Structure 1
Amino acid sequence: MMVQEIMELLPHRYPFLLIDRVVDWAPNEYLVAIKNVTFNEPFFQGHFPVRPIMPGVLITEAMAQATGVLAFRSNGGKPKDNALYMLVGLDDVTFRRMVEPGDQLTIRVEIKRMARGMGIFNCTAHVGDELAARATVKCVAKEVIE
């Protein structure tokens, strides 16, 4: 799945779309996505000028975005026009490796449980064979009043 298809499922746009490609997925099971980390990312200007490191909060956001792609693709397509898929919780978040410019972040999300519009996912982010981060991510689809 290329970025154009991802943008049909997620409302995020540059500079906040953090998924570049989906390389594998199985409906209602798992998804594997890629985030190419480049020095041109706007957050590297301030985090940190001496040693650029991708903020952990953005790594967890990339994992949450991957859960959204999996949830919408598993449900057969695009979200409703007035719905947002929102992050509502993070549990057991751990960071094991710094993510720096030039790294390719491989994000794997697995559905742990889906109930009443809320999904709970086991997520990992790797650089090569090294674990960069892991978390249990909770997200929910909500209709937004316009």
Structure 2
Amino acid sequence: MDSQNSMRWLNVIANIGVLIGLLSVLFQMKQDQELLRVTLTNDYYTSYITADTSFAGESLPAIWEKALLDPKNLSLKEMRIMESQTFAPINRWINLYRLSEAGIVNESFWKSQVNLDAGYYLGDSYGRAYWEVSKEDWDDGFLPKELRDHIDKTLLNRKLNETLAYY
């Protein structure tokens, strides 16, 4: 009789130990997810620096100005430089959207980044034209519909060439 009671108590204690172990594993996974989120968010912002510095040669400011003031007269070389400048933020938004789908960042985070950047990168005549043409070529597997619609909505609420009003 005593041995049966001892075995029951031992079984209960062992089960409690297993539960504590599982809880500790779940806690560690949550910490790892938070660390991954921080690392990926940092990588996201580093991509801004990388994109801007890779094309920040002497000609970029002049090309950006020409795209803003006279977009129909860009050379092919200038258009290619501007294409990289307009695609880079779209690619970052797609990556943030995918991180949100995976539960690593909040949905509000990718939306706030689109809200902050869309007017700057796609708000001039060249950027809008690039967006209108490109978004039709990208299927929902590449550019998710929810993201596409949010970019459209953001641009709809922004004035064309609003960056000219910065100064």
Larger Rg: 2
Q: What band does the TM-score fall into relative to the shorter chain?
A: 0.3 to 0.5
Higher normalized helix content (fraction of residues): 2
After TM superposition, the score normalised by the length of structure 1 is 0.33
Higher normalized strand content (fraction of residues): 1
